[in-house]
Amino acid sequence: MTTTDPDTGFRALDATPMGYGSMRRKEDARFVRGKGRYLDDIVLPGMLHAAILRSPHAHARIVSIDTSAAEAHPRVRAVITGETLAGLGLAWMPTLSHDVQSVLATDKVRFQGQEVAFVVAEDRYSARDALALVDVEYDPLPAVIDAQHALDADAPVIRDDQEGRTDNHIFDWEAGDAAATDDVFARADVVSSCDMLYPRSHPAPMETCGSIASMDPVSGKLTVYTTTQAPHAHRTVYALVAGLPEHKIQIISPDIGGGFGNKVGIYPGYVCAVVGSIVTGAPVKWTEDRSENLMSTSFARDYHMRGEIAATHDGKLLGVRVTVLADHGAFNGTAQPSKMPAGLFHVFSGSYDLAAAHCAVTGVYTNKAPGGVAYACSFRITEAVYLIERLVDVLAHDQGWDPAELRRTNLLRSEQFPYTTALGWEYDSGDYPRTLATALDMAGYDELRAEQKQVRSAYERGESPMLMGIGLSFFTEAVGAGPRRTMDILGLGMADGAELRIHPTGKAVLRLSCMTQGQGHQTTFAQIVAEELGISPDDIEVVQGDTDQTPFGLGTYGSRSTPVSGAATAMVARKVRDRARIVAAAMLEVSPDDLEWEKGAFRVAGDPAAAATMNEIAMAAHSDLELPDDVEGHLDATCVYNPPNLTYPCGAYVCVVDVDTATGQVKVRRFVAVDDCGVRINPMVVEGQVHGGLADGIGMALMEVMAFDTDGNHLGASFMDYLLPTAMECPSWELGETVTPSPHHPIGAKGVGESATVGSPPAVTNAVLDAIRVRHADMPLTPAAVWRAVRGTPLRTDLAIG
Amino acid sequence: MTTTDPDTGFRALDATPMGYGSMRRKEDARFVRGKGRYLDDIVLPGMLHAAILRSPHAHARIVSIDTSAAEAHPRVRAVITGETLAGLGLAWMPTLSHDVQSVLATDKVRFQGQEVAFVVAEDRYSARDALALVDVEYDPLPAVIDAQHALDADAPVIRDDQEGRTDNHIFDWEAGDAAATDDVFARADVVSSCDMLYPRSHPAPMETCGSIASMDPVSGKLTVYTTTQAPHAHRTVYALVAGLPEHKIQIISPDIGGGFGNKVGIYPGYVCAVVGSIVTGAPVKWTEDRSENLMSTSFARDYHMRGEIAATHDGKLLGVRVTVLADHGAFNGTAQPSKMPAGLFHVFSGSYDLAAAHCAVTGVYTNKAPGGVAYACSFRITEAVYLIERLVDVLAHDQGWDPAELRRTNLLRSEQFPYTTALGWEYDSGDYPRTLATALDMAGYDELRAEQKQVRSAYERGESPMLMGIGLSFFTEAVGAGPRRTMDILGLGMADGAELRIHPTGKAVLRLSCMTQGQGHQTTFAQIVAEELGISPDDIEVVQGDTDQTPFGLGTYGSRSTPVSGAATAMVARKVRDRARIVAAAMLEVSPDDLEWEKGAFRVAGDPAAAATMNEIAMAAHSDLELPDDVEGHLDATCVYNPPNLTYPCGAYVCVVDVDTATGQVKVRRFVAVDDCGVRINPMVVEGQVHGGLADGIGMALMEVMAFDTDGNHLGASFMDYLLPTAMECPSWELGETVTPSPHHPIGAKGVGESATVGSPPAVTNAVLDAIRVRHADMPLTPAAVWRAVRGTPLRTDLAIG
């Protein structure tokens, strides 16, 4: 529960703790002084600047590319085309989903904004100017924009680069027992079904993507500064794809201004920067502008879903059945884990005790930017939670049931954990009824319903255009990708390393494979070590984002930092403590078994005066203290952590909205969010994560959509068109918590980075539709969409065909 | 034995080996292209430049320092004096020998060249100019220059900063059994004794010392680029002395242009650069010029020794007795290991089977720069070897014995190893008679003696001023400081870490605590890993010299890189191989015990087709391969190596000189060097080390001396005065080898960095004195010294009092 300072209204901080607690973020000393060092802050001696020429067409054949005028520009140093890259075997690169993607287009362009040429010049302005001098002749082709027509017989074939291909089908994928699910539905008393679209959206991080590549021609060392959430994966990909020697590649993630999944993959500009540096012999910087980021980098969602839910007469949920048409854009996409083409969509069975569930997902190509899972990426969990939480409300709507009561009676009970879902996934822990009850109590659910009635009667009496809605969602997330079944990125497993060095004076340096994009890793990971070793978090430096300095691992996404790297951190700190025990025993001349650990020191049992603090132990471990023969000196330790299971955070959200039926305008009046992410390392940081995710939900539900016209022209390529929520649209959040530690995580933490992004859109949508008593309307519920929904004429906002 | 390419005359290279062998040095690709990155090549944004004002007096009281005119210089940003530092508690700093040293003088100056003020300016020229604007008033005092008068009753007390001090005595130290030694001498048939001075010399590395300090005021991180052989030790010292947090200190040794012990310690300029950066808020570079390096940084030797040797009538050596007066300069000194004030002088009992040995060393302060052990530092072994090898020749001279025969009959025999000396040190291995026999064979000793006779008869007949001399030395080195008894630097033990990371594609990165100054670590350490893992040295990157990237250890000096870090490297590679076996077993679905290692791959015994190469194993270890529960993923490993004993390389040297008695000029005609350093990782690199050390010996014996006048004015502050040998003075070296692996080192290597520096001076000296039949004359045997020795009027060259 948030403790608020009564004077400032801000969170009350704990004193800097020797472990968990709400301490100020260590990194903010730099950030609030403007001393962050983001990619574009980096200037290398002799650095050149690049710009990318992009396709104006969604689908067109390339007839010719003439670069001679651009090359003649006095400040241009190189113009790279797909042909240049083809000579190096780099015109196409693998995606992370067993597909290939064009680096610079050679045969065709396949979406508006696709990369066609890369110009390197002495300054950014000249590079941009010279783009206009590259003469590309296109032969336009009809485009597939609506996924629902991608498999039509007359649809143009987008991926004719693949031999023998005659359609736009990518994959069919099923999960769950179809026969058992059909059986459940046949026996059900009531069934509700609903078609819904989770529209294409964009992570829209504050900082766009970019890269600086510097190849040293003498040593052969390639250094790449790049905005990546997964530096080690990038290193291995460069080694595998470009054949560069992995031990001579250094990937450095500087400070990153938000990722949300947008910064997992390798974009064509990154590859071109490397080639540009090799060609020119100088460092090459490439950074996107906002339009480039919105048009060409990993989008999210774009899921056309038909869901059905089955129940008994008395409100016992029985099963869920879903078919999905997934729009993957022109290339099947960056950050799409190959083992499961629909990622972790399995959690569509939700937080309920269901007898059966089944889904069938079909993926198709369209003439849009590639991607598919990014945006607080969570690998399709967002869509799954939206589906089930909308279906529950649709069923309640159809049957006239109270959505809170329907959830309460069907939620998994704490004694059912660990619980294996109908899809075969094992939820680790939770006390769902308590989590929901906490949220309903905080919201004052019954009073809200009473108020709602009064508002509606005034509306029905024609006294006011206003309606009030109360929306609920209960979500179960599946985070911490690591277990074998979960993912497979280029054949790499998902074990992450942690290294802990203890210096002679007792100060510590922790090296991790994960990479913060603003989540506060410098602080929270130091707190994990502090908790285990009893030293101050201020005495622990956390190093990330430089492959030369950190152990291998697959980085930060899917809320996996705390579940995986956090576990590795606790384990490595415990290894240090185990070694410290042996050193302390040698110092105190007792057996290690005679020592008791008391945060920060080992004490001799029964002799209160005999003790060694961690600082003393650290110095002794670096001295010539005599240790047992099989014990090495110093205190450093390493750990590679391969989690046995995902962790399953959950939450209950209650959203209260006021809807102006005259204008369609929605105002989120209150938002109660009770999250259970297990043990909280730094509650303030957890709450910051939740705040951001809740705002995401308001954006998704009410404002955000990547829309296209029928020719494939992108209608959201600036923040004037692609609307993000601001503080203006957000209420003062009301946060609560329950804590059910994960039983298989060393400190019981579960990961919380995406919880609110996952859980909040259905709460907001449910609230709006609850207010206007409409069974379903697709997000975003813009004023126009709400205005028309109230009047029974739904609007499709993802295509400009309204 | 060197294999020479008959066409070029250069060493014939092996093909790049998957292990040991003469491959080209990997680092030379950078160096020969001028792409080295030495300290002065580094330019940080906004960097300021510093210069040091130094004392013109050897001994003077400071009356006042007025910095106002310097501070008024328009480009000066800060003037730091001892008073500034005193405010920070930094006016004095600890030496590595339980003494303290003035950073900037406050009370007195104690040697010519001592640091008095530190000026920081916008450019180096302005900083230098402003030195003249600092007005220091001195009250000159009488100086102690000749150590032999340091303990005189009327000698001025140099270290009156130490309360209650009334003399210049530092320590008395004894080793060996005095009574037993006296007894041996009493029973001996013959005794020879000799007074000898090993004069003060200087390591004179090609690159002088310097430092760039950059304190980030926001993050509190201090980055120091500095020319150090021991970056981690520097980090801990900054933490302990200045109270800076060790986890926020990064010491980076860039490429280093030679160290030879000169770059072990912390010089006042380094500390001032840090303070300068804190005071100005900008990076501060300070670099020495040549005179500063020669006048104020760690010197070497300066040992006044009286040695006695006892033997039987028939030439059996019985014992050695030594008294030493050690001149430590004004502060007892950088790189002086505190446990043993005379370092590893113990080896003065040499390579012979002696019944007893004893030494007594007295250390004194003088008004000279502090230091004492640096210069291929070897901690007084150089002096010890010179003493015993001169004494053997003096005895041979006195008795008319052949010096080769005297050595041959007294050398330790191979069956005596491991051999515990009269001083209690355990020599690990050797076959001394074979080593000597190899050298005598290569030299053609008997033919040389015959030729010498002819030359002398021509001389005696007055037909020629020329004489010919044949000088021998046989040395035993004691290297690889690490074992508990050997040293104690600030309480830190001498275990060194190694970390080996194996990337998914099978390329490797080795991180070490040692630091190359030109020895070829990038190559030889990669070869150790290559030998153990069967991968190419080109696929292994060796990282050193950056404390953020490397495990703790005490660095490179005393020939300890191969004995300590080389052992750590072999051990860590073997740990990787052990882990690879488990991974291979999982891949091949067999028990680890069923696998056979064949360089670079594990094979299933009895099934030649079933095998996994290291590359395949590396990728599998990063995949989601199922490993046993107690086995972590990846292949990385760490090791901290604490050697059980020193290693004891040895060698037999034969030097042939021609002496022009008319001018005193000596020409080294031939030099045969047979070294036994155990297993040779890269024979070419070993030979390069030997070449350098042999040149050192010519320099020491014939040319080099740090001389002073009676006022303490330094007479060797440039290379016009302090003469170094060049190719002109060196013959074409004739190298040979024997190989007796060290039984306790994992690959049997012994360290060779200082062997020739230790072994060559007595060989050259013995040759010259053999030519002119003089019992003894002190080094350097300059033409003047030789000319006068021939005429019976010896010259003392270390003081300008001839």
Q: So what CATH class is A303-481+645-790?
A: alpha beta
| CA pair distance A213, A234, nearest whole angstrom | 13
| CA pair distance B144, B695, nearest whole angstrom | 32
Task: Reply yes or no on whether the pLDDT at A589 is more than 80.
Answer: yes
Task: Reply yes or no on whether the pLDDT at A337 is more than 70.
Answer: no
User: Is B594 an 8 Å CB contact of chain A?
Assistant: no
Nearest of A673, A669, A703 to residue A689 by alpha carbon: A673
Nearest of A608, A590, A618 to residue A533 by alpha carbon: A618
Q: In sequence order, what are the beta bridge partners of A92?
A: A102
Task: Pick the residue from chain A with its C-alpha nearest to B625.
Answer: A493
User: Is A495 an 8 Å CB contact of chain B?
Assistant: yes
| CA pair distance A208, A256, nearest whole angstrom | 9
At B185-240, the pLDDT tens digits run: 999 999 999 999 999 999 999 999 999 999 999 899 999 999 999 999 999 999 98
**Picking from A80-94, A716-730, B66-80, B476-490, which range would have the lowest pLDDT averaged per residue?**
B476-490
| CA pair distance B698, B667, nearest whole angstrom | 10
Determine, for residues B507 and A247 on separate chains, whether the beta-carbon distance falls below 8 Å.
Answer: yes
Q: How close, in Å, is residue A711 to chain B by CA atoms?
A: 43
Determine, for residues A640 and B634 on separate chains, whether the beta-carbon distance falls below 8 Å.
Answer: yes
Nearest of A351, A317, A500 to residue A439 by alpha carbon: A351
Nearest of B759, B775, B764, B657 to residue B704 by alpha carbon: B764
Q: Cα-flanking dihedrals φ and ψ of residue A55, to 5°?
A: -70, 135
Task: Reply yes or no on whether the pLDDT at A802 is more than 50.
Answer: no
Task: Reply yes or no on whether the pLDDT at A801 is more than 60.
Answer: no
Which residue stretches of A104-206 are H helix?
A: 124-131, 178-187
Cβ pair B548, B496 in contact under 8 A: no
In what order do the strands lie in the sheet containing A210-215? A76-81, A115-121, A48-54, A284-287, A210-215, A222-226, A249-252
CB-CB neighbors (< 8 A) of B33 in chain A: 218
Those residues with Cβ within 8 angstroms of residue A353's Cβ, 6 or more apart along the chain or in another chain: A317, A410, A411, A412, A413, A416, A419
Task: Reply yes or no on whether the pLDDT at B483 is more than 70.
Answer: yes
Q: How close, in Å, is residue A265 to chain B by CA atoms?
A: 18
Q: Give ∠ CA B377-B379-B383 in degrees, rounded to 5.
A: 95
Determine, for residues B504 and A539 on separate chains, whether the beta-carbon distance falls below 8 Å.
Answer: no
Cβ pair B80, B68 in contact under 8 A: no
Those residues with Cβ within 8 angstroms of residue B34's Cβ, 6 or more apart along the chain or in another chain: none
Q: What are the structure tokens assigned to A395, written together?
A: 């069923």
Average the pLDDT over B641-652 and give the result. 95
User: What are the boundaries of each domain within chain A?
Assistant: 44-141+207-257+263-296, 303-481+645-790, 496-641
At A353-401, the pLDDT tens digits run: 999 999 999 999 999 998 765 665 568 999 999 999 999 999 999 999 9
* Same-fold call for A44-141+207-257+263-296 versus A496-641: no
A395 class by beta-carbon count within 10 Å (0-12 exposed, 13-18 middle, 19+ buried):
buried
**Which of A30, A624, A636 is opposite residue B493, by nearest beta carbon?**
A624
CB-CB neighbors (< 8 A) of B639 in chain A: 632
Task: Pick the residue from chain A with its C-alpha nearest to B496.
Answer: A633
- Quote the pLDDT of residue A488: 66
Q: How close, in Å, is residue A2 to chain B by CA atoms?
A: 29
Average the pLDDT over A171-189 and give the result. 96
- Dihedral sign of CA atoms B542, B547, B550, B554 in order: positive
| CA pair distance B252, B256, nearest whole angstrom | 11
At A61-91, the pLDDT tens digits run: 999 999 999 999 999 999 999 999 999 999 9
At A698-710, the pLDDT tens digits run: 999 999 999 999 9
**Interface probe with B: pick from A340, A624, A630, most Cβ of B within 10 Å:** A624
At B70-113, the pLDDT tens digits run: 999 999 999 999 999 999 999 999 887 788 999 999 999 999 99
Q: Looking at chain B from residue 234 to 253, which residues have their Cβ under 8 Å from any Cβ of chain A?
A: 235-236, 239-240, 245-248
Determine, for residues B35 and A218 on separate chains, whether the beta-carbon distance falls below 8 Å.
Answer: yes
Indicate the Cα dihedral angle A262, A267, A270, A274, nearest 10°.
150
Instruction: Name the average pLDDT for chain A.
Output: 94
- Quote the pLDDT of residue B9: 64
| CA pair distance B415, A549, nearest whole angstrom | 48
Nearest of B731, B490, B762 to residue B651 by alpha carbon: B762
Those residues with Cβ within 8 angstroms of residue A468's Cβ, 6 or more apart along the chain or in another chain: A451, A452, A455, A456, A656, A657, A658, A659, A669, A771
Task: Reply yes or no on whether the pLDDT at A2 is more than 50.
Answer: yes
Integer-rounded Cα Rg, in Å, for chain A is 27
| CA pair distance A560, A569, nearest whole angstrom | 13
Q: How close, in Å, is residue A12 to chain B by CA atoms?
A: 24
Q: Looking at chain A from residue 713 to 772, which residues have their Cβ under 8 Å from any Cβ of chain B?
A: none
What is the DSSP annotation of B353-402?
--SEEEEEEEEE--SS-SEEB-SS-GGGHHHHHHHHHHHHHHHHHHHT--
DSSP letter assigned to residue B332: B
3-state DSSP assignment of residue A268: helix
- Quote the pLDDT of residue B326: 94
Q: Cα-flanking dihedrals φ and ψ of residue A691, to 5°?
A: -50, -50
Q: What are the structure tokens assigned to B402, written together?
A: 């052949």
Average the pLDDT over A34-55 and give the result. 96
Nearest of B337, B263, B727, B756 to residue B518 by alpha carbon: B263
**Which of B247, B541, B552 is opposite residue A248, by nearest beta carbon?**
B541
Which CATH number is associated with domain B299-481+645-790? Answer: 3.30.365.10
Instruction: Name the average pLDDT for chain B.
Output: 94
Determine, for residues A551 and B493 on separate chains, whether the beta-carbon distance falls below 8 Å.
Answer: no
Which is higher by pLDDT, A196 or A241?
A: A196
Cβ pair B622, B634 in contact under 8 A: yes
| Predicted ipTM of the assembly | 0.94
| CA pair distance B192, B398, nearest whole angstrom | 7
- Quote the pLDDT of residue B12: 75
User: Is A794 an 8 Å CB contact of chain B?
Assistant: no
User: Is B633 an 8 Å CB contact of chain A?
Assistant: yes
Tokens 């160096």, residue located: B31
| CA pair distance A639, A115, nearest whole angstrom | 41
Q: Looking at chain A from residue 51 to 90, which residues have their Cβ under 8 Å from any Cβ of chain B?
A: none
Q: So what CATH class is A496-641?
A: alpha beta
Strands of A48-142 (E only): list them.
Answer: 48-54, 60-66, 76-81, 92-94, 100-102, 108-109, 115-121, 135-140
CB-CB neighbors (< 8 A) of B548 in chain A: 509, 543, 549
**Interface probe with A: pick from B214, B488, B490, B503, most Cβ of A within 10 Å:** B503
CB-CB neighbors (< 8 A) of B507 in chain A: 239, 245-248
**Interface probe with A: pick from B505, B539, B587, B744, most Cβ of A within 10 Å:** B505
Those residues with Cβ within 8 angstroms of residue B363's Cβ, 6 or more apart along the chain or in another chain: B169, B170, B171, B172, B173, B326, B328, B332, B341, B342
| CA pair distance B236, B232, nearest whole angstrom | 6
User: Is B638 an 8 Å CB contact of chain A?
Assistant: yes
Determine, for residues A246 and B503 on separate chains, whether the beta-carbon distance falls below 8 Å.
Answer: yes
Task: Reply yes or no on whether the pLDDT at B378 is more than 80.
Answer: no
Task: Reply yes or no on whether the pLDDT at B174 is more than 90.
Answer: yes
Residue A559's pLDDT band (cuts 50, 70, 90) = confident
Looking at residue B222, its amino acid is L
- Quote the pLDDT of residue B801: 53
Residue B10's pLDDT band (cuts 50, 70, 90) = low
Looking at residue B691, its amino acid is H
Residue A18's pLDDT band (cuts 50, 70, 90) = confident
| CA pair distance A232, B405, nearest whole angstrom | 64
At A644-696, the pLDDT tens digits run: 999 999 999 999 999 999 999 999 999 999 999 999 999 999 999 999 999 99
Most distant CA pair in chain B: distance in Å?
Answer: 88
Which CATH number is associated with domain A44-141+207-257+263-296? Answer: 3.90.1170.50
Other C-beta atoms closer than 10 Å to the C-beta of B688 total 17
At A216-256, the pLDDT tens digits run: 999 999 999 999 999 999 999 999 888 899 999 999 999 99
Task: Reply yes or no on whether the pLDDT at A8 is more than 80.
Answer: no
| CA pair distance A781, B95, nearest whole angstrom | 73
Q: In sequence order, what are the beta bridge partners of A193?
A: A308
CATH architecture of B40-141+208-256+263-296: Alpha-Beta Complex (3.90)
Those residues with Cβ within 8 angstroms of residue B218's Cβ, 6 or more apart along the chain or in another chain: A29, A30, A33, A35
Looking at residue B519, its amino acid is Q
User: Is A258 an 8 Å CB contact of chain B?
Assistant: no
- Quote the pLDDT of residue A335: 46
Residue B335's pLDDT band (cuts 50, 70, 90) = very low
| CA pair distance A50, A269, nearest whole angstrom | 9
